[in-house]
Chains A and B, each alone.
Chain A
C-alpha cells in the first residue's frame, strides 16, 4: 500500500507492504536511522518517536496507522538557534547517556513528557520515562537532564 507520512516536516510517500512497522518505515524507507530498534517487543522504548506530537513505540505501530499523520524522530529536533533541542542539550550537559543506544528514545519520550507536564518533579520524570530502559546510567542523570531541560534547578 502507499503510505504518506509527514516525517520531521517533510512529506514522505512510499509503497510498502501492509505489515510494515513504523520503525522500519522510518529507518529503511525514510532513511532515518536515529530511531533504534531495541527489544522489538514494546518494552524498552528505544524506538520511541512522536506521532502527532505524542510519544509512541514505533515497533508497535504499523506504518499504515501513521498514514496521513505527522511523525517526529530525533533527527527532527531543533533548538531555536537551529542547533540542539533543549532536551538534547540537557542530556549532554547532565551526562544523561553513556553508550547512547537508548538516548534517541529517551529524548523523544522526554519531549512528550515535557509537552504534557512542563515542570515535572523528579518523581514525575521517573514515572513519565518508565517505558524507557537504560542499561548504563542508572537513570539518575537522565532525570537530571529532563529537570534541566524544563528550566528547573537540578538538585540531587
Chain B
C-alpha cells in the first residue's frame, strides 16, 4: 500500500534523508525507530506529501504520490508532530471538522467512545492536558477508518492506559487490513505491536531489528554504534 524506492530529500539547512527503500503491506504494522533527529519525521512527511522527494519515488495505493488522485487521501490517517486540534474549538467540534476534512460519514460519537473522551467532549482543547490533546489528535486521525495510517510518536504524552488503548486500536486496525507506520524511540512499546521494526540512523534505513531477541536496547545501540563507525570510516577514506 505504501512504498519508498530510493527516496532522498535534503533540507536547505543541510539535514537530509537518502536511499530510503521499504514497503508496508496491508495488515502490517511497521515501526520506525531511531534516535532524535535521524530523519523519522522527514520520512513520514515524505510519505504524506508534506515534502516532495528530490530522488526516488513514494507510492501510495500503487500511485506515485505526485500523480495520486486527491480523493484517495480520504483513506489515509495521519498524526505528524502536532495533533489536528484547534485550541478554540471543543473536542467534539475538532472531531467534527476532521470528519468533514476527510469526507467521512458521522463517526464522532463512536470516536469519542473509543478514545474515552466522553468526560471532555465539550471542553475547549486549550483547556486539555497534553495527553488528552494527543488522544483527540489520534481520534481525529483514525476515526474515518483509514487504510493507511502514519503516526509520528503517537504515544507522546499518553498515560499508560491510553498507551494500551492505542496499542489495541492499532492491532485491531492492522487485523482489519490497514497498513500502519509508527515512529517511536520506545523499544518495548513497538516490540509489542510491530510486525517489523526498521532502524534509522543519520538519515538512512540501516536494517531491521529482531524484536524476538532479548535485550533489545543493547542490540539497538550496538547497531547504531556499528553504523556510525562504518560511516565515519567511509568518510575518512574519502
Are these two chains actual partners, yes or no? no
Spell out A's residues near B (CB within 8 Å).
Answer: none
Chain B interface (Cβ within 8 Å of chain A)? none
